[in-house]
């Protein structure tokens, strides 16, 4: 599998992850002008190429950077690929129609999988009955989740701070979500950020997929916002047995977690948390 050139936070010819602006803030009864940094938000068009033809799959708004990981994770979450071997190459578009920075906003994934797999129905909680969504996902199949790892409460309650420590873009903008993979000792394996929390998860999973770290059966996924149905779905596709969130979980997220046997932990703040499902993977101490 070949992966096209990736961008750093300040890539040559592409958009950075943050941008300098001037703002006014009240100070001592007056408005004072000062510099500030914004999280960059730009569209990413995901194209697909197979021996059967080419198509544009979607356009997502994202923070530039780690785009190949984002695409790989998204393809896995959508069930379009089942593993890294299905991917021949992911690269930025070199079409002459996309000049300047725009060439960094179009990514093409060349797949080895047959065209019939690309037509698989995409699963989403949007616009359909929740129970029907879960049944459809169950029928489509998930990799079985492992019984472990088991996390001590003392480790779980430290995970949001460990995630925050790795969110460099958040530290200067306060405007992006974060996702991290951690092991049962609390060691952070990888952190990724994005203006869209789902994209942050896709980048984390995509990193693991492209770097030979699948399956993720001995890890937990930590997210900075609420735990939604789609985040549980993405974690389940990647074989992650535990999701930990700073905020709460939605009802459909909990229902799906129970179906697939996932541990869901929310409201991790200070020394407290709420374990919605899969409490066997959480141990005192």
State yes or no: is 126 an active-site residue. Answer: yes
DSSP state letter for 239: T
Catalytic annotation, pick one of 2, 30, 126, 139: 126
- State how beta strands 282-283 and 151-152 pair: parallel
Write the CB contacts of 207 (distance below 8 Å, at least 6 apart in sequence).
Answer: 66, 69, 73, 190, 192, 213
- State how beta strands 263-269 and 272-277 pair: antiparallel
Cβ neighbours around 275 below 10 Å, total: 18
- Contact criterion met (CB below 8 Å) for 44 and 58: no
Whether omega before 17 lies within 30 degrees of 0, making that bond cis, reads no
- Contact criterion met (CB below 8 Å) for 233 and 213: no
Alpha helices, H only, 20-152: 67-77, 115-118, 130-140
- Contact criterion met (CB below 8 Å) for 269 and 232: no
Known catalytic residues are 126
């Amino acid at each position: 599998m070949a992966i096209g050139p990736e961008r750093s936070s300040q890539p040559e010819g592409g958009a950075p992850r943050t941008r300098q602006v001037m703002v006014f803030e009240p100070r001592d009864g007056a408005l004072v002008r000062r510099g500030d940094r914004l999280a960059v938000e730009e569209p990413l068009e995901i194209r697909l190429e197979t021996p059967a033809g080419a198509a544009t799959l979607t356009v997502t708004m994202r923070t530039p950077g780690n785009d190949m990981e984002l695409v790989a994770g998204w393809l896995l979450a959508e069930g379009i690929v089942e593993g890294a071997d299905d991917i021949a190459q992911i690269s930025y578009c070199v079409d002459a129609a996309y000049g300047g920075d725009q060439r960094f906003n179009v990514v093409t994934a060349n797949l080895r999988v047959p065209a019939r797999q690309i037509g698989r129905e995409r699963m989403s909680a949007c616009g359909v009955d929740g129970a029907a969504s879960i049944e459809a996902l169950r029928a489509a199949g998930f990799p079985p989740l492992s019984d472990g790892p088991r996390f001590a409460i003392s480790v779980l309650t430290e995970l949001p701070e460990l995630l925050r420590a790795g969110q460099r873009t958040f530290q200067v903008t306060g405007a992006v979500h974060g996702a991290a993979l951690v092991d049962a000792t609390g060691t952070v394996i990888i952190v990724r950020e994005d203006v869209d929390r789902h994209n942050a998860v896709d980048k984390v999973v995509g990193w693991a997929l492209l770097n030979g770290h699948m399956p993720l059966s001995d890890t937990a996924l930590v997210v900075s916002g609420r735990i939604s149905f789609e985040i549980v779905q993405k974690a389940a596709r990647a074989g992650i047995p535990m999701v930990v969130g700073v905020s709460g979980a939605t009802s459909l997220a909990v229902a799906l977690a129970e179906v697939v046997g996932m541990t869901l932990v929310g409201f991790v703040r200070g020394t407290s948390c709420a374990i919605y499902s899969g409490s066997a993977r959480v141990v005192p101490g």
